[in-house]
A and B are shown apart, each in its own frame.
Chain A
Amino acid sequence: MTDMHAEEQRPKRLGRALFLGTLFGGVSSLYWGKRAWGPISSLISPLEAEIPLIPSKGWRIYTVASTMPTFDEPTWRLQIAGHVEKPVSIGYKDLLALPKVEQISTFHCVTGWTVKNVHWGGVRLGEVLALANPTSVAHALEFVSAEYPYTDSLTIQQAGLHDVMLAYEMDGEPLPRVHGAPVRLVIPEMYGYKNVKWLKGINLITKPQPGYWENLGYDQDAWVGRSNGYGT
């Protein structure tokens, strides 16, 4: 009886267990964190609409330059140049006048976050390219952002995937500034860094050129789930 009492009184070294347990939980979450976050995120998403401070719907805004480009409608142009028969420069209204398409697709960032069911509105790349008529040596496209020095490129085949588009609408609104106003590239099969924001030019080139992130070691072919160290 006395022994039992003594046992009960002896302090337990629980602080270190809590410390090591927290460390283990945290480090192991590198493997399960994203799966666990999904349900929590959908649970709190109605709340996000109420609190404007929380990144809406899970978007993070990544930029590489000091300031974010501003969209001035009267002066804005999208230049299609390089290996084309007829270089063209399209104004915002001309872009909106092209046949409009809409799609719902998921946006994957290479750093791990995902935004499901983004509703895009815009034009297929082919519509815009047809205006300039690429020549037979054009096997790739370089996308130039107004956010200097951001560029990225795709092969003609990649750019021809069925759901690649130039989006000027997001979730029923004109594309917001933080998402690349007035127009961005959308290629759902690839990680976000290929989805060039603040698009101002498309150059037809002979082969893909490393862009901003490729120069920092990211993969040229940024397939979701099978590039940049994932799924390989």
Chain B
Amino acid sequence: MKDGKRYRRRFSRTERTLHWANAIGFFFLLATGLILYLPSLAVQVGRRPLIQSVHFWSGVGWIAVLLLIVVAGDRRGILRTAREIDSFDSDDFRWLTGKKPAPQGRFNAGQKINATLTVAFAFLFLISGLLLWFGERDTRFRFASTVVLHDGLMFVSLALLVGHLYLALIHPATRHALRGVTLGTVSEEWAERHHPKWKPE
């Protein structure tokens, strides 16, 4: 390596594609969703029926693309990653309660929780979004709380996103991770400091 550092692969191409497809989809849905949600934006933009269709179909497209990436990509790798995210050992609990030492693997406990919630929220966004769409056309799909669920998910996701962006872009100790999700690799030295239990294959 030119800079004399040694690097280690953290994210596969499938994982990175999944991450960025999710991010782009989320931001687009957030933008179109906010136009529908905020009166101040609704007045300026207008065209509610059009924005509504764009928001709905891009939401459906977003989930479809994510599924497609998993199916067409490195399925085994994704499954391995899912197992890692599923599993919490005693160090993870120590990490979550702020005790030290709490050596972490490729993902720390916070990342595992964030990833799990992100996937669960995608399903809930889809379910509530479909109910809103079809509920407008058929009373069988209409629930008094669908709007609360869809909007509530947006607020919680936004809070998670702010924390995620802070750690990925600003916080000096963690922002090196951005390299991992763009180029795929992180420096050995950083990996050993932040993820000492992560054993590269």
Q: Which of A21-48 contact B (CB under 8 A)?
A: 22-23, 26-27, 29-34, 36-37
A18 touches B116 (CB 8 A): yes
A9 touches B43 (CB 8 A): no
- Stretch of A63-71, A85-93, A165-173 that contacts chain B: A63-71
Q: Mark B81-114, 1 if CB is under 8 A from A, else 0.
A: 0100111111010000000000000000000110
Specify which of A12, A30, A56 is in contact with B87 (CB 8 Å cutoff): A12
Size of chain B's interface in residues, with CB distance under 8 A? 48
B46 touches A66 (CB 8 A): yes
A178 touches B42 (CB 8 A): yes
Across the A-B interface, how many residue pairs have beta carbons closer than 8 Å? 137
Q: Which of A168-214 contact B (CB under 8 A)?
A: 177-178
B72 at the interface (CB under 8 A from A): no
A162 at the interface (CB under 8 A from B): no
Query: In the assembled complex, how far is the CB of residue A131 from the closest CB belonging to chain B, in whole angstroms?
Result: 32
Q: Per DSSP, are chain B's interface residues mostly helix, strand or loop, or mixed? A: helix
A230 CA to B140 CA, complexed, in Å: 10
Give the size range of A's interface with the partner: 35 or more
Query: In the assembled complex, how far is the CB of residue B49 from the closest CB belonging to chain A, in whole angstroms?
Result: 6
Q: Which of B156-180 contact A (CB under 8 A)?
A: none
A55 at the interface (CB under 8 A from B): yes
B198 at the interface (CB under 8 A from A): no
| Chain B residues in 8 Å Cβ range of A74 | none
- Stretch of B58-66, B142-150, B182-190 that contacts chain A: B142-150
A8 touches B90 (CB 8 A): yes
Considering only CB atoms, which chain A residue lies closest to B131 in the complex?
A30
Considering only CB atoms, which chain B residue lies closest to A14 in the complex?
B88
Q: Mark A4-22, 1 if CB is under 8 A from B, else 0.
A: 0000111111111011001
B43 touches A216 (CB 8 A): no
B20 at the interface (CB under 8 A from A): no
A23 touches B149 (CB 8 A): no
A111 at the interface (CB under 8 A from B): yes
A130 at the interface (CB under 8 A from B): no
Given contact pairs A60-B39, A62-B48, A111-B135, enumerate 19 new A-B contacts (beta carbons under 8 Å).
Answer: A12-B89, A15-B116, A16-B86, A18-B113, A18-B117, A18-B120, A22-B116, A26-B121, A26-B149, A34-B145, A37-B145, A37-B152, A61-B43, A63-B48, A66-B47, A111-B142, A112-B146, A178-B43, A230-B144
A111 touches B87 (CB 8 A): no
